[in-house]
Amino acid sequence: MRELDADLKEKFKINLLILRICLTMAVILAILSLSVFFFAWRYPWITNNFTFPNPASDYVTSLAQVFGAISGVLFLYAAFLGQQQQMIIQQQEIRTQNEFNNRTINNQYFFELLNRLTLIKNSLVMTRLEPETEGNHKTEYGDHALSYYISSAWPKSFKRLIIKKIKSIT
């Protein structure tokens, strides 16, 4: 994949920054939730006597669940941001593929025109009339006929006839 376009690059950077902040906050809250739960489990006499009224385990468990729930929501939001990052990369790939398709279509059009020109040149036949000799006719085909037509030796009135014949071929 090539480098992102300017507009997609800006979106990608902003999403990446938000994703990092969101993941950092989610990890901090998950650790805090586990710490509160572990602290209440390991030292139950501190939570029962000083921090919370009776029954202390309900309050500590609820606090740990709140931190865990907020952490879960942030992890879910981070997953959506990750999908958005993937969509930005896919947009760039689609743009790159469209540019390639346009170049391919232009190349095909060029070669089609080149084939038509070759067909016209190959179907071009001219009889050379030399003014000095009577009955001496030389027939030119393809490129030689075209160069003879372009040269100044060919009369102007015949050029118009040849142009009409070429248009009828195409």
Task: Say how many domains are in the chain.
Answer: 2
State whether 101 and 133 are in the same domain.
Answer: no
* pLDDT at position 87: 92
* pLDDT at position 119: 82
Distance of CA 17 to the CA centre of its chain: 23
Q: Residue 137's beta-bridge partner residues?
A: 129
Round to whole Å and give the CA distance between 73 and 149: 80
* pLDDT at position 54: 60
> Could you say which residues of the chain have pLDDT below 70?
1-2, 44-57, 126-138, 145-146, 148-170
State whether 35 and 84 are in the same domain.
Answer: yes
* pLDDT at position 30: 94
Range of the domain at 29: 6-108
State whether 67 and 102 are in the same domain.
Answer: yes
* pLDDT at position 7: 86
> What residue has token string 């084939």?
115
* pLDDT at position 63: 84
State whether 100 and 133 are in the same domain.
Answer: no
* pLDDT at position 81: 93
- Residues in Cβ contact with 143 at an 8 Å cutoff, skipping those fewer than 6 apart: 121
State whether 144 and 93 are in the same domain.
Answer: no
Q: Which of 80, 108, 136 is the last residue of a domain?
A: 108
